[in-house]
Amino acid sequence: MKKVKTDTRAGPQHVNKVYTELLKLLDLTLEHRRTLYNRSLIEDDIEKFCYRSLPLRKQELVASLIKKVGKVEGVPGFWKNGNNWDLAGKTGIVIPVRSKDGLITSLKIRVDKPVRASAKYILLSSNPQGERSFPLGTAAKTSVHWPVDKPKKIKVIRITEGELKADVASSLTDVYTLSLPGVKMWRMALDVVKELAPQEVRIAFDADNTEEKGGGYTNEDGTEDVEPYQVGQACASLYLLLKEHAPRVGIEDWPEEDGKGIDDVLLNGAQDKIKFVTGTEADDWAAEMLFSDLPKG
């Protein structure tokens, strides 16, 4: 008889409470602060988005946290290390991932020393069935990131991949920018569009979207997916999906020398180089991405 998996994850309100109190206990190192300054984020932005640094040793931190929140069982990232609760995760910048209601649903880590380039950003997770066993741990779940200060009325939205990227783009432009947890999860954008019913949707995936890329995308259980995937194909698929659900949908394109991601382009002062590709031109590009052989190299 097939075993039925039970979801041991704590409720969204308690997950938000635990993560909120955890962030209050964490500091931001000078090195990480400089990294964020280099993304054109000012001190007010850093506090608004609640970026923090995840340290190497965490048991004492968790003990202090439990005094505030009562229990951490069922919250992704926490696990029972012997007789004490502990926190998983490599050192790096902590980036809160938020729901449409502003609740923190998970924490993304910009890892200081990733084992490979594709593992630079990972979800904080304590998956008890992963490569490393975390007793009484809880796997992370992926979700769309809604940056803080969501406007009450939204006519135009941008969809990108990368929480920090979305925060930066939302701060530097007047276009509210949401983040998918990975380009392979492009279908998750449909619920966003149905929820907001915007007049215009801009898709802004990385400029190298015709190259085959491996990894960097997070599965439902918080593990990494290292299968190669065409970013361009994801962008094209998302475009074709959303054009059936919004009055105007297009792809933001720019010369690769002006930046890899939308945040890089904005930081480089090349906003005027962004071209909004829509209509027949976008249709033709999407067809080429999905139905023609991609160039090699």
Q: Where are the domains of the chain?
A: 12-123, 156-291
pLDDT in tens, 33-63: 999 999 999 999 999 999 999 999 999 999 9
3-class secondary structure per residue, 152-199: CCCCEEEEEECHHHHHHHHHHCCCEEEEECCHHHHHHHHHHHHHHCCC
Per CATH, is 12-123 categorized as 3.90.980.10?
Answer: yes
How would you label 94-117 residue by residue, b for 16+ Cβ within 10 Å and e otherwise?
bbbbbeeeebbbbbbbbbbebeee
Assess if CATH 1.20.1260 describes domain 156-291. no
pTM: 0.88
CA contacts within 13 A on the Cβ side of 91? 10
User: What's the gap between Cα 214 and its chain centre?
Assistant: 17
Tell me the per-residue pLDDT of 186-211, one tens digit each, with 9 for 90 and over: 999 999 999 999 999 999 998 765 54
Quick: pLDDT tens for 141-184.
999 999 998 898 999 999 999 999 999 999 999 999 999 998 88
Residues 6+ away with beta carbon under 8 Å from 177: 147, 157, 158, 159, 160, 165, 166, 167, 169, 170, 204, 262
Q: How far apart are CA 53 and CA 237, in angstroms?
A: 36
pLDDT digit string, tens, across residues 212-264: 433 344 444 444 443 334 788 999 999 999 999 999 999 999 999 999 999 99
Q: What is the mean pLDDT of the chain?
A: 89
Q: What residues pair up with 108 in beta bridges, in sequence order? A: 95, 123
Structure confidence at residue 219 (pLDDT): 44
pLDDT of 208 reads 65
Q: Can you say whether the dihedral through the CA atoms of 165, 171, 174, 179 is positive or negative?
A: positive
